[in-house]
């Protein structure tokens, strides 16, 4: 598939972001609007389309942040991606918000080891560790819900420690650094806090796996949350 124009969107966290790649040019929009995602996201989509002087019908594929994050935010992003994909028969590349955070840390700092952590409320964080492999985030262990405890006690810690300086990206580190990092073994990146659609887009074009819109599902991590598929779809 010749992916000449690819649109990415994410509403999984407090940040609403969109990115559009046409040829070699990427334009993006992002704003922290935790209660206005459903009102802002399509406006951002139209803005980047206008800036690139194309229409939605010219887009070849979609990328969406499918979680983990805010349950409402994840639902909004996945639902909008499904709607756009169905209306234009587009493949969708789901990307984890934790992967996007790691990719952002690599893009900005050439970080070799990143532990992404997003504040999940209720004294927990969504977390996953990553390595930098030729400029791309490679996941070391699955996304998980973790208590506010020393990250170096995680079973996957030995797989990332010693590879290079361990960096922390995401709101989980800002909120709970004392609990997650009591021995100061992780260097927290204060400016890499929320995922961006542009990093999802970049990662998806290299490592993403496309799904049909009907098969797109949120990545909640909390197992008790059910996702209702669109009417008439199994």
d(CA 21, CA 203) in angstroms, rounded, equals 12
- 68 preceded by a cis bond (ω within 30 of 0): yes
Residues 9 and 39 in one domain: yes
Q: Answer yes or no: do 24 and 135 share one domain.
A: no
Same structural domain for residues 91 and 207?
yes
The answer to whether residue 231 is domain-embedded is: no
Q: Is residue 228 part of a domain?
A: no
pLDDT value at position 4?
87
Same domain, 155 and 132: yes
Same domain, 74 and 108: no
| pTM for the model | 0.93
Do 30 and 92 reside in the same domain of the chain? yes
Per-residue model confidence as pLDDT tens digits over 50-67: 999 999 999 999 999 999
Looking at the fold, whether 181 and 124 belong to one and the same domain comes out as yes
How many domains are contained in the chain? 2
Look at residue 101 and tell me if it is in a domain. yes
Domain co-membership, 65 together with 121: no
**Considering the domain boundaries, does residue 226 fall inside one?**
no
Which residues pair with residue 21 across a beta bridge? 6, 26
Pairing state of beta strands 15-22 and 5-10? antiparallel
Q: Tell me, yes or no, whether 206 and 143 share the same domain.
A: no
Asked whether residue 223 is domain-assigned, the answer is no
Domain of 211, CATH number, reads 3.30.420.40
Whether 44 maps to a domain, the answer reads: yes
Residue 116 belongs to domain spanning: 97-188
- Listed in sequence order, the residues at least 6 apart from 186 whose beta carbon sits closer than 8 Å to its beta carbon are 115, 151, 166, 167, 168, 173, 180
Do 150 and 107 fall into the same domain?
A: yes
pLDDT tens figures, 135-167: 999 999 999 999 999 999 999 999 999 888 999
87-133 confidence digits (pLDDT tens): 999 999 999 999 999 999 999 999 999 999 999 988 999 999 999 99
pLDDT (average), residues 30-36: 91
| Nearest residue to 67 (alpha-carbon basis) of 8, 143, 141, 121 | 143
Asked if residue 206 and residue 169 are part of one domain, the reply reads: no
């Amino acid at each position: 598939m010749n992916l000449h124009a690819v649109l990415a969107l994410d509403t999984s966290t407090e940040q609403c972001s969109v990115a559009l790649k046409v040829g070699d040019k990427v334009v993006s929009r992002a704003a922290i609007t935790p209660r206005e995602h459903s009102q802002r996201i399509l406006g951002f989509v139209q803005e980047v389309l206008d800036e690139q002087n194309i229409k939605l019908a010219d887009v070849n594929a979609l990328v969406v942040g499918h979680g983990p994050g805010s349950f409402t935010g994840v639902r909004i992003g996945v639902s909008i991606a499904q709607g756009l994909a169905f209306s234009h028969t587009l493949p969708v590349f789901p990307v984890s918000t934790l992967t996007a955070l790691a990719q952002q840390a690599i893009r900005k700092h050439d970080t070799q080891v990143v532990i992404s952590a997003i504040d999940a409320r209720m004294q927990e964080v969504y977390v996953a560790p990553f390595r930098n492999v030729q400029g791309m985030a490679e996941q070391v262990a699955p996304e998980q819900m973790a208590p506010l405890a020393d990250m170096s006690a995680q079973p996957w810690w030995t797989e990332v420690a010693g590879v290079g300086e361990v960096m922390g990206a995401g709101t989980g580190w800002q909120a709970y650094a004392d609990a997650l990092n009591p021995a100061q073994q992780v260097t927290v990146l204060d400016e890499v806090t929320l995922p961006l659609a542009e990093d999802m887009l970049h990662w998806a074009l290299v490592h993403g796996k496309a799904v049909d819109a009907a098969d797109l599902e949120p990545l909640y991590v909390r197992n008790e949350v059910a996702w209702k598929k669109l009417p008439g779809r199994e």
